[in-house]
Amino acid sequence: MSTSERSQQFEASIRDEAIHCDRLLGSWTGTNPGPTLIVICGVHGNERAGVHAAEEILNQLSSIAPDQGKGRVVVIAGNLAALAVPEGGVRYLDRDLNRIFSEAGIAQIRAASPADLDTEQREALELMQTLEAEIARASGLVYALDLHTVSAESPPFVFVEDSLPAREFVHPFGVPVILGFEEELHGLLIDHLTNGYGVTAAILEAGHHDDEGSQHFMAAAIQRAITYAGILSDDLLAESIASDEEQTQGYGQGRAGHIYDVRHRDPITSPDYAVEADLQPFDHLRRDHTVVAREKGRVSVAPMTGLLFMPNRQEEKRPGDDGYFIVQRVNRTWLMISAGLRRFTLLHWLLPKLAPGVRHDPTHAGRLLVDVRYAPVFKRELFHLFGYRIHSRGPDLHWPWWRRIWTGAIGIAAAILGILLGIFKGGEKGVLREPSEHDWVISRRTLDTADRPNARQ
């Protein structure tokens, strides 16, 4: 059978099947205590490759004696209802399961009667209960790898929050790393695991839904996560692309190890939304020039220069879903400086005391408010440099550089004037207006502030 015929056969089989499985797909536990790796698959019902990759790894682990490793590997299925739909399944039934896990969304689920929950809310409740039980029984650090695929042909890539432990966790995967996704999309499962339980978590997007290579790469990534955590050594796992550097570079399509930051999201508002057919992931987009998508006669032109990311090629377009993103590459020197600054404790103590328009949030310990009039002085990039996550902000206008400089200069002048005018009232902080819903809300990254032992001890 030719490679093309085998690929077509794989695509047909993965589309036709209906997956009926338990929430807990399986596990392997070492004799000695140690780290826990939680592998999550099938959060979207049309992303079946993750289930098969996880089952492949469970089959490998079943032949390894418990006394040869430490800790635990556990595989958990996400949206059981959507996975059970035949003919390729559906992404979700009532709502996107991977957008439910915000503080407000979780509170609503916990407070409601089970009879009042929709399909994905019930799935979320059961999934949280299973995850919480696994985290509670863990005897060491906990890692989570959430397996996904995409609707457009694409090289594999991985999402993480921009914390130092998370960056280190995904480095062995050898694929492009995307930062800032959780600031554009609220309610991600890995965000809940990180900020609610201190789990080092990542989303792996392994390629197209129906590509056999996606499943193969997922299995390799799980192996790398197992060995990174120190649960098992490399030589105990079956040979895979995890040990083939040339193939890894091929999967990354020349971008292996590159790091990008999400700078723009275009939401879908109508079912006739369509990304331009000739555009591919990581294509270069020019500000106010490149037509990216069309919807109800509206033309969506790139609002900034960058690279196209995750263009939506789903057959069914649902309002509220993601149309496309724009990312920009992050310089490695910038990342090294950022790593140093976020370890500088004095900086974080001084920020709310000296930075223009920045003060403590009186309603939430650990968070800072940034007066919207001064926010252009910082922009997202500077807060990211210091290791801060932006929870809410005003519209992130993609101004040209000259307007940023002009607006920033005005903001600095206003801050100095505020200090002078309020010198007898406590300085600039003394004359700031009351906190507003328009203020930016920021905080340090959870994993950067936690007292964590070395992940591979």
DSSP per-residue string spanning 302-313:
-SSSEEEE----
CB-based contacts of 146, cutoff 8 Å, min separation 6 = 40, 43, 189, 190, 201, 202, 203, 204
Q: Is 74 helix (H, G, I), strand (E, B) or coil?
A: strand
**pLDDT for the residue numbered 252:** 52
Q: Tell me the C-alpha to C-alpha distance, in Å, between residue 183 and each of 62, 124, 187, 238, 265.
A: 39, 21, 10, 37, 10
Provide long-range contacts, Cβ within 8 A and 24+ apart, for 276-282. Answer: 279/308, 279/311, 280/152, 280/153, 280/154, 280/308, 280/311, 281/152, 281/153, 281/154, 281/155, 281/308, 281/309, 281/310, 281/311, 282/155, 282/253, 282/255, 282/307, 282/308, 282/309
Question: Could you read off the pLDDT of 60-114 as tens digits, one per residue?
Answer: 999 999 999 999 999 999 999 999 998 767 889 999 999 999 999 999 999 999 8
Q: How far apart (Å, rounded) are the C-alpha atoms in residues 339 and 331?
A: 13
Confidence of residue 296 (pLDDT cuts 50, 70, 90): confident
Scan for tokens 């996975």, then name that residue: 83
Q: Give the least confident one: 68-77, 113-122, 288-297, 316-325.
A: 316-325
The single-letter DSSP state of residue 241 is: G
Alpha carbon dihedral 196, 199, 137, 233, in 10-degree steps, equals 180
Alpha helices in 62-186 (DSSP H): 80-83, 103-111, 119-137, 164-170, 181-184
Contact, 175 vs 258, CB < 8 A?
no
pLDDT attached to residue 247: 45
Cα 34 to chain center, whole Å?
A: 25
Contacts of 74 (CB under 8 A, 6+ apart): 24, 26, 27, 36, 37, 38, 39, 134
**Segment (H or E) for 219:** helix 212-229
Of the ranges 43-57, 201-215, 389-403, which is most confident? 43-57
Q: What tens digit of pLDDT does each residue of 145-185 get?
A: 999 998 878 789 999 989 999 999 998 898 999 998 888 88
Question: Which DSSP symbol is given to 97?
Answer: G
User: Please, which pLDDT band fits residue 372 given cuts at 50, 70 and 90?
Assistant: confident
Is residue 14 a contact partner of residue 171, using CB atoms and an 8 Å limit? Answer: no
Non-local CB neighbours of 78 within 8 Å, separated by 6+ positions: 40, 41, 42, 43, 44, 97, 123, 127, 189
| Percentage of the chain modeled with pLDDT above 70 | 81
Total-model pTM: 0.84
Which of 26, 112, 127 lies closest to 75 in space, CA to CA? Answer: 26
74: its two tokens: 């556990």
Interhelix angle 3-16/212-229, nearest 10 degrees: 80
Distances (CA, A) of 327 to 177, 248, 266, 370: 11, 22, 12, 25
Structure-token pair, residue 445: 């990254």
Residues 174, 256 contacting (CB under 8 angstroms): yes
Contact by Cβ (8 Å): 437, 371: no
Cβ burial of 274 (10 Å; 0-12, 13-18, 19+) is middle
In order of their start, the domains of the chain are 3-257 (3.40.630.10), 260-329 (2.40.50), 332-449 (no CATH)
The contacts of residue 102 (CB under 8 Å, 6+ apart) are 186, 187, 192
Give me 402's structure tokens.
């000259």
pLDDT digits (tens, 9 = 90+) for 14-29: 555 778 888 999 999 9
Tens of pLDDT, residue by residue over 193-234, are 999 999 999 999 988 888 888 888 999 999 999 999 999 988
Any idea of the CA torsion for 314, 318, 324, 325, to the nearest 10 degrees? Answer: -130
